[in-house]
Homo-oligomer: A and B are copies of this chain.
Amino acid sequence: MPHPPKRLGAPCLDSETWENEILNATSRDPSSLLPLAPGLYLVATPIGNLDDITLRALRVLHNVDRIACEDTRHTQKLLNHFQIDVPTISCHEHNEDARARELVEMLKGGARIALVSDAGTPAISDPGSRLVAAAIEAGVRVIPIPGANAAVTALVASGLPTAEFAFLGFLPEKAGARRTRLEDLAGEARMTNSEASRTLIFYEAPHRILETLADLESIWGSTLRMVLARELTKVHEEFLRGTVAEIRRELASRDRIRGEFTLLVEPPLKTGQSGSAGATEKLSDRLARMQAENSIDEKEALKRLARELGQSKSELYRELQRQRARRK
């Protein structure tokens, strides 16, 4: 019995009303106006839409002594937008160790320092974790200020299982290493005893996405369920949902591919029949049949089956051993 949407078509707020809205939205709890305690603040920043920043993040950025940035020029745009005038200092993968020592000295002297990355939650697939470790080591308080994170944002809107997930960052750039990585992950997924499928989350660059989809298809099978998220939180936010084959076809048909991708994969459950996971359920039976039909030995059968399944021989052999061990 659907309720009719009552406020549908209500006029949108004009600019002034919206500003008052935000004013009213400001927490009037006096404790929120206390001076910031000394420490290292890990401040999440927007991943596309500049309004994806929290009230606390704005207050912290405004009140710290210094903002350590992955890229000071990039962050300056955000600070300008919010009229925040605080000195910045660079802290990126090429200077993080030296900078961490410097910043930790300041922190030990009672400074309030914010750490931000170019986008999202700092210290995940971003510089910052060494600074965090150094601060903890020095006994400095580390205060996380929650906010946007592309992996979690993509996950909840993907429609894929959310009860468990693994974030795996960027895949290796080189084709061989990337394939090995995906094969290892496929092997892992088959060995997982979880009842729920554990969604895997990667980041991928636009110029490698088609290759990566091809690898996924050959390793997991064309019916692998997955979602590609693109331009998250931006005007052209897009979710491509379907099998890896469908998504690859769709993407390949486009004139050009832009934007960072968040790639979400639903590994088939062990009991599933799709892809190579189902196939490996009866690995020894399948090998025996191949040997009989082609008059070949186990080694040769393994080689052929590995090619067929898009897996490495050694991985398949380990899987076979594991299955045999289980039956005992």
Contacts and interface: CB of A to CB of B under 8 A. Distances in A.
Contacts of A284: none
Given A21-B62, A23-B22, A193-B184, A4 B109 contact: yes
B198 A166 contact: yes
What copy number does this chain have within its complex?
Answer: 2
Interface stretch (A117-125, A211-219, A268-276): A117-125
Interface string A114-142: 00000001111100110011001000001
A138 B66 CA distance: 48
Nearest to A163: B169
A265 to B, nearest CB: 14
9 contacts: A5-B111, A5-B112, A25-B53, A51-B56, A136-B159, A136-B241, A144-B232, A149-B152, A321-B324
A47 B101 CA distance: 32
B168 A164 contact: yes
Given A149-B149, A318-B326, A23 B23 contact: yes
Interface in A134-165: 136, 142-149, 152-157, 159, 161-165
A153 to B, nearest CB: 4
Interface string A81-116: 111001101000000000001110110011111000
